[in-house]
Amino acid sequence: MTQRDPVNQTDKEAIALAKDLLEKARFGALAVTHPDTGAPYVARVGMLWQANRLLTLVSTLSTHTKALLQHESCAVLIGEVGDKGDPLTHPRMTLSAKALRTDKSAVKDVWLGTIPKAQLYYDFSDFLMFALVPDSIDLNGGFGKAYRLAPADLL
């Protein structure tokens, strides 16, 4: 008996859902390699989708920033649980990515225009901006709605 691949063929609806999740994302769970132990490490960070990359503003005082400075590979989980129903039926997406240092002054207006409370700390010298450039994307649109997208699908 041949087992059916649970991952669906990527279609227009899946791409639209992925783009919607990215456009709405203001934070996510960032997975990195702990800089001291090499173990997996996850932190919630602010995020903003811009120009086919997730931007994140992080402090060098944090473990996750130290991790990104040592190793550019990371992953991000985005998608919020709705008000009702089983949390695992709500859309979410994991992006495997490379974290690239980005000039935070170049995206300041975009970031503060979307996340105005960051004005309080945006210019602190310990804060760095990273662009998380997706390598691969796993979209779970709910029960029976698994997809694998390529970064080009988001263009």
CATH code, 55: 2.30.110.10
pLDDT at 66: 98
pLDDT at 20: 96
pLDDT at 144: 82
Q: Is residue 19 part of a domain?
A: no
C-alpha to C-alpha distances, 90 to 1, 98, 144, nearest whole angstrom: 31, 26, 11
Q: Is residue 12 part of a domain?
A: no
pLDDT at 1: 67
Give dist(CA 43, CA 8) in Å, integer.
30
Domain count, the chain: 1
Tens digit of pLDDT at every position of the chain (155 positions): 677 778 889 999 999 999 999 999 999 999 999 999 999 999 999 999 999 999 999 999 999 999 999 999 999 999 988 778 787 888 999 999 999 999 999 999 999 999 999 999 999 999 999 999 999 999 999 888 999 999 999 98
pLDDT at 88: 82
Domain that holds residue 140: 26-80+90-149
Is residue 137 within a helix (H) or strand (E), and if so which, with residue range? strand 127-140
Q: Is residue 18 part of a domain?
A: no
Q: Is residue 123 part of a domain?
A: yes
Query: Considering the entire predicted model, what is its pTM?
Result: 0.92
